[in-house]
């Protein structure tokens, strides 16, 4: 991957009399750009209320979602916020759950259009510029199952397995440094627990997971917690927190070689989501995710919206 960055930076030699400071500045910007990670974006895209509950046989949920990140800074490997070339990532996706039985639910996530952009780099001193770049492609799909138990008790549990399928682009754009996927097959095993405070309009869920990653990527430990409040039949407000910690047991050379989907990404995020039911079976959602700390991850919010239908 570094060879692609070098070839991209080599285009500076075609500019009229670029100075050494400009070349150094462009080199630093490109290095910063290819080390940031958007795994946080994928996590927030798939956040839906479910927790330890599963669907009954023949019942389900489908959501058409749109997410956006537009950022000019990120958390580096030391957790410090630094400037990067402004980038954007826009994902249109389908997410669904369907009850195969009263205890077993199948889950699918398909980002069928992902647009990744890198802004042009302008130099005020000489007026020179490094062109921007873009790629439009599929993202990495996910498919999984969730088995619910203790479903008739005060606290319900579910164990799930999500498989990440590398259907995204790993070398996109003219410079071949933009990505819509990480190129590796991973398996995320999760245990979820939920409790409803009915007749009070509150619920709470907690999650712990282990993500096994391949192709030299480090495995990860996931923790999540959310609370929900339903003041009426049509409105639900949710507040989520999510943490990802790397086990640093992979090939360290992958840290910088997988474009925007970096290895050893870590973060702690908190984000709200609002759900409004237009009818009993149809509605829309709007939410945001904010990384309060992290490593190799964007330090800008992820905005999302979607339309959903239950059946």
Domains of the chain: 2-310 (2.40.160.40)
Q: Residue 201: which of 240, 226, 225, 228 has the closest Cα?
A: 228
| Mean pLDDT on 168-179 | 84
Distance CA(152)–CA(154), nearest Å, equals: 7
Is the Cβ–Cβ distance between 137 and 168 less than 8 Å? yes
CA distances 53 to 125, 147, 193, 207, 272, Å, are 59, 9, 8, 12, 20
| Mean pLDDT on 149-175 | 92
Encode pLDDT of 65-108 as tens digits: 999 998 888 888 899 999 888 888 999 999 999 999 999 999 99
5 vs 123, higher pLDDT: 123
Q: Looking at residue 124, what is its pLDDT? A: 64
Q: What is the dihedral of CA 176, 298, 190, 193, to 10 degrees?
A: -150
Encode pLDDT of 268-299 as tens digits: 999 999 999 999 999 999 999 999 999 988 88
* Average pLDDT over the chain, rounded to an integer: 83
Reported in sequence order, the residue ranges of the chain that DSSP labels E, i.e. its strands, are 60-75, 81-99, 104-118, 121-122, 129-130, 133-137, 141-149, 155-165, 186-196, 202-212, 220-229, 235-246, 266-277, 282-295, 297-298, 302-310
Q: Residue 291: which of 263, 270, 261 has the closest Cα?
A: 270
Encode pLDDT of 39-62 as tens digits: 333 344 444 446 899 999 999 999
Distance CA(213)–CA(274), nearest Å, equals: 32
User: Which pTM value belongs to this model?
Assistant: 0.82
Q: What 8-state DSSP symbol labels residue 4?
A: H
Contacts with 233 (C-beta within 8 Å, 6 or more apart), sequence order: 277
Confidence of residue 119 (pLDDT cuts 50, 70, 90): confident
Distance CA(63)–CA(196), nearest Å, equals: 23
């Amino acid at each position: 991957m570094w060879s692609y960055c070098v070839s991209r930076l080599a285009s500076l030699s075609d500019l009229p009399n670029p100075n050494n400071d400009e070349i150094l500045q462009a080199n630093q910007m490109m290095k910063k750009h290819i080390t940031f990670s958007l795994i946080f974006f994928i996590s927030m895209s798939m956040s839906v209320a479910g927790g330890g509950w599963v669907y009954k046989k023949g019942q389900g949920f489908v959501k058409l979602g749109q997410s956006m990140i537009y950022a000019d800074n990120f958390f580096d490997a030391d957790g410090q916020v630094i400037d990067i070339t402004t980038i954007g990532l826009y994902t249109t996706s389908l997410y669904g759950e369907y009850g195969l039985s009263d205890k077993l639910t199948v889950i699918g996530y398909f980002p069928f259009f992902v647009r990744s952009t890198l802004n042009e780099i302008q130099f005020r001193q000489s007026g020179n510029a490094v062109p921007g770049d873009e790629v439009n492609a599929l993202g990495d799909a996910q498919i999984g199952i969730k088995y619910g138990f203790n479903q008739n008790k005060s606290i319900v549990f579910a164990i799930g397995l999500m498989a990440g399928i590398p259907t995204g682009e790993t070398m996109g754009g003219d410079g071949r440094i933009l990505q819509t996927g990480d190129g590796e097959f991973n398996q995320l095993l999760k245990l979820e627990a939920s409790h409803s405070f009915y007749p009070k309009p509150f619920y709470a869920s907690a999650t712990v997971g282990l993500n096994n990653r391949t192709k030299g990527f480090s495995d990860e430990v996931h923790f999540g917690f959310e609370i929900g409040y339903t003041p009426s039949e049509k409105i639900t407000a949710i507040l989520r927190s999510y943490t990802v910690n790397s086990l640093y047991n992979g090939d360290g050379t992958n840290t910088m070689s997988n474009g925007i989907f970096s290895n050893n990404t870590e973060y702690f995020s908190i984000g709200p989501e609002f759900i409004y039911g237009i009818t009993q079976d149809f509605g829309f959602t709007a939410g945001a995710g904010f990384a309060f700390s992290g490593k190799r991850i964007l330090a800008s919010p992820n905005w999302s919206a979607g339309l959903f239908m239950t059946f």
